[in-house]
Structure 1
Amino acid sequence: MGRPKQFDPDAAVEQAMEVFWRKGYAATTPQDLVDALGIGKGSLYNAFGSKNALFHLALRRYRDSQALALIELLEEPGPVRARLRKALLLLVEMDLADVDRRGCLAVNTAAEMGSSDEEATDLVRRMFDRTEEAFRAAVEEGQRAGELTPGRDPRAQASLILSTLVGLRLVARVEQGPDRLTRAVDALLDAL
Structure 2
Amino acid sequence: MSGRPRKFDDSAVIKAAMDVFWSNGYDGASAEVLCERTGLGRGSLYNAFGNKQKLYEIALRRYQEQGLQAQADILNAPGSVKERLLALMRWGIEDDLGPNRGRGCMALFAVLDRAGKDPVIAEISRVYVIKLEQVLCHLFTVGQRNGEVSSDSSALELARAFLSSYYGLRVLGQSMPDREFLEDVIKGTLARF
Q: Which residue of 1 aligns with 2:108?
A: 107
What letter is aligned with 2:166?
A: L
Q: Which has the higher contact order (CA 8 A, sep 6+)?
A: 1
How many residues align structurally?
188
CA distance in 1, matches of 2:87, 2:101: 23
Q: Is the 8 A contact 2:95 2:101 kept in 1?
A: no
Q: Which residue of 1 aligns with 2:78?
A: 77
Q: Which residue of 1 aligns with 2:11?
A: 10
Q: Scaled by the length of structure 1, what TM-score is found?
A: 0.93
- The structural deviation recorded for 1:165 is 1.3
* Larger displacement relative to structure 2 (178-187 or 125-134): 178-187
Q: Scaled by the length of structure 2, what TM-score is found?
A: 0.92
Q: Is the 8 A contact 1:93 1:178 kept in 2?
A: no
Q: Which residue of 1 aligns with 2:3?
A: none
CA distance in 2, matches of 1:139, 1:185: 17
CA distance in 2, matches of 1:157, 1:127: 18
Q: Is the 8 A contact 2:13 2:38 kept in 1?
A: yes
Q: Which residue of 2 aligns with 1:142?
A: 143
CA distance in 2, matches of 1:100, 1:25: 18
Instruction: Could you tell me which runs of 5 or more consecutive residues in structure 2 were left unpaired when the two chains were aligned.
Output: 1-5
Q: Is the 8 A contact 1:22 1:100 kept in 2?
A: no
Q: Which residue of 1 aligns with 2:152?
A: 151
Q: Which residue of 2 aligns with 1:40?
A: 41
- The structural deviation recorded for 1:100 is 4.1
- Flag the 1:168–1:98 CA change in 2: closer, same or farther, 3 A: farther
Q: Which residue of 2 aligns with 1:125?
A: 126
SS of residue paired to 1:172:
helix
CA distance in 1, matches of 2:115, 2:190: 29
Q: 1:162-181 maps to which residues of 2 (within 5 A)?
A: 162-181=163-182
CA distance in 1, matches of 2:37, 2:112: 24
Q: Percent identity?
A: 31
SS of residue paired to 1:111:
helix
RMSD, aligned CA: 1.4
- The structural deviation recorded for 1:110 is 0.3
Instruction: Could you tell me which runs of 5 or more consecutive residues in structure 1 were left unpaired when the two chains were aligned.
Output: none
